């Protein structure tokens, strides 16, 4: 069984037992969270698609850790103008373990 969930402005296809990295969620490590923004639920043969959400469908997940992705380097340059700008960014994430899908 799998589900398409929405969190942090992005959509993820998840199944029970998977680990995924999503945008940072304000939750403690080890805490169980319930994601109720489920866009679709399928089990191979049958697929329920919501308009826009599937009513009554939930995904339970456990927070494994928080961290930062690899650094993205931004380099801007205007040729012949003596302008160079360097910048870096590390996006924060929350790693989740999908426990169960209901719906």
- For residues 12-40, average pLDDT: 97
Per-residue confidence at 44, pLDDT binned at 50, 70, 90? confident
Peptide bond before 91: cis, by omega within 30 degrees of 0? no
Phi, psi of 44 (to 5 degrees): 100, -55
Where in the sequence is the domain holding 23, given as residue range(s)?
2-102
* pTM recorded for the entire structure: 0.85
**pLDDT score, position 103:** 81
Percent of the chain with pLDDT over 90: 98
Strand partners, 63: 96
In this structure, what token pair is assigned to residue 81? 């103008």
- State residue 73's pLDDT score: 98
| Residue 9 pLDDT > 90 | yes
Query: Total domain count for the chain?
Result: 1
- Alpha-carbon gap, residue 32 to 13, rounded angstroms: 19
């Amino acid at each position: 069984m799998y589900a398409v969930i929405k969190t942090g402005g992005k959509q993820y296809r998840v199944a029970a037992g998977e680990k995924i990295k999503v945008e940072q969620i304000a939750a403690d490590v080890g805490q169980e969270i319930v994601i109720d923004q489920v866009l679709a639920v399928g089990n191979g043969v049958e697929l329920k698609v919501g308009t826009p959400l599937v009513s009554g469908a939930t995904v339970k997940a456990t927070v494994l850790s928080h961290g930062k992705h690899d650094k993205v380097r931004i380099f801007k340059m205007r040729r012949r103008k003596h302008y160079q700008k360097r910048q870096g960014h590390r996006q924060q994430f929350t790693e989740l373990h999908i426990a169960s899908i209901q719906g």
